[in-house]
Amino acid sequence: MSQPRQPGMPYPRLPLPQAHEDLAAFQQWLGEAIPMVGALGIQSMSQCTSQEGGSLTWQLALNPNLNDKGTGFGGALTAQTTLQGWCWVTLWLRAQGRAQDVVVAEASQRFLAPVTSDYRIICTPSDPQGPEQLAEKLNARGKGSIALTQQLYCGDTLCLEANGRYAVLPVA
């Protein structure tokens, strides 16, 4: 790992992929670029591009995210869903050959059931046309935003649903 992060100093970008994204390399870079990632319990990432807009799925361990009641800590789950949306947009941009910054503009969560075991979070566009609309905005104005939905499941139980809007900033 490189030197510890310093406030105000951007972390170097991961080079754009030549073909398909290496998600293990992306996850390693993510842990270096955002130090708290190592504490979130992300076991693996996978992408599915067969559905409209594609999905990003994370498998996560509950133990690093326990609260005082022995269930998932809401703050950790919120951080995970927000970060996963950021990753979805960043990976989508990388697949388009774009190296642009992404920021979260809005985020909300609805807690539906306690998280009691290892779990998975699935991130998809809120609107199936969202990626196409984002591409049009980026081509026309160099910036844009997209709404994403994250759903957290323990087995078949939907425990949390989050929604966020992520902004793609113009190239500086």
The pLDDT tens digits for 43-82 are 999 998 765 679 999 999 999 999 999 999 999 999 999 9
Supply 122's token pair: 């699935």
Burial (CB count <10 Å: 0-12, 13-18, 19+), residue 111: middle
Nearest Cα to Cα of residue 120 among 167, 87, 90, 152: 152
Residue % of the chain over a pLDDT of 70: 96
Domains defined along the chain, listed by start: 23-168 (3.10.129.10)
**pLDDT tens per residue, range 68-118:** 999 999 999 999 999 999 999 999 999 999 999 999 999 999 999 999 999
Q: What SS3 class is residue 43?
A: strand
For tokens 């133990």, what's the residue? 63
Distance between CA atoms of residues 14 and 11, nearest Å: 9
